[in-house]
Structures are given as C-alpha cells and as structure tokens.
Copies of this chain bind each other. A is one copy, B any other.
C-alpha cells in the first residue's frame, strides 16, 4: 500500500476512452451487452434467449408462416434459423406442419404449450421494459426506440448512407 492513509478515496487515474464513448457503434455495443445480460437474468427461469423469444413472437402472430419468412422478418439467415426452430420444436413449443400447398416448406405454428409460454414471456417482457423505463423514463424509452429504428433503417437502405 504505497499510499498513506487518511487520504480521500483513491483518485484512480481513470483510463481515457475518448472518443469511444462518443461513437454510436461503441455505445450500441456496450448497451447491447448490458441489456442482454440483464435480459438473460430476467428470463432465466424460462430458459429462453432473445432470438427464441423473437421466433415465438413472430410465429404466434403469424401462424402458418414459412421458416424462411420468419427468418427474414427477424433479420436472421435462413440457415441459422434451423437449429433455433429445432430447439423450440424439441421442447414442444413450435410445430412444423406436415402438409402444405408448397411441399418444400414448413408451415409453423405454436403448440398450446408454446402459446401458453409466449403469454408468460410477454408479461415478463412488459415488466422488463418498465424496469428500463425506470432508468430513462417513458419519454426517453420512446425516443430511444425511434432513434434506433431510424439508425437501423438508414444502415439497411440499399444505398446506406453509413
């Protein structure tokens, strides 16, 4: 302990991060990691990850959708949604309907168990959002959603400006 006692709390040289905290990409990454961690805690009892909640939500809203349509709606590669749906199907939450007009595709539906779980997830989700609202206010939360949507749309444009 090279510092004499009685001094105020250690000043901590403080690592200089500039200009990282002023970069949208950096701030987004830090926020996403933090939110995903708390999200995982909030949904730990359900053993459901964010991507799985996304699939359950879209299938619940749009029964009969094809896998590739669900993937596109969520911005996931159609190759990557296969193990995701495998997991949900193995847990009896989602069904790949056998018959279909186009026999290449799978019409997806929630099972009764899937619908029941989705209901509980959405209630928990509402609680989780209100916890975030406690941090930035409902006005701040709405504004954040707007700004994120605008950034996403700008980057996803065919001739993306960024």
Chain A residues with a Cβ under 8 A of chain B = 15-39, 42, 50, 54, 57-58, 61-62, 65, 69-70, 73-75, 122, 125, 128-129, 131-132, 134-136, 140-141, 143-145, 147-156, 160-162
Bound together, the chains give a CA A93 to CA B162 distance in angstroms of 27
Given A143-B143, A161-B135, A162-B128, also A24-B19 (CB < 8 A): no
Q: Which 3 A-B pairs have the closest CB atoms?
A: A135-B154, A34-B155, A131-B162
Given A39-B25, A162-B35, also A122-B19 (CB < 8 A): yes
User: B residues within 8 A CB of A145?
Assistant: 21-22, 24, 27
Contact B125 A154 (CB under 8 A): no
Bound together, the chains give a CA A148 to CA B147 distance in angstroms of 11
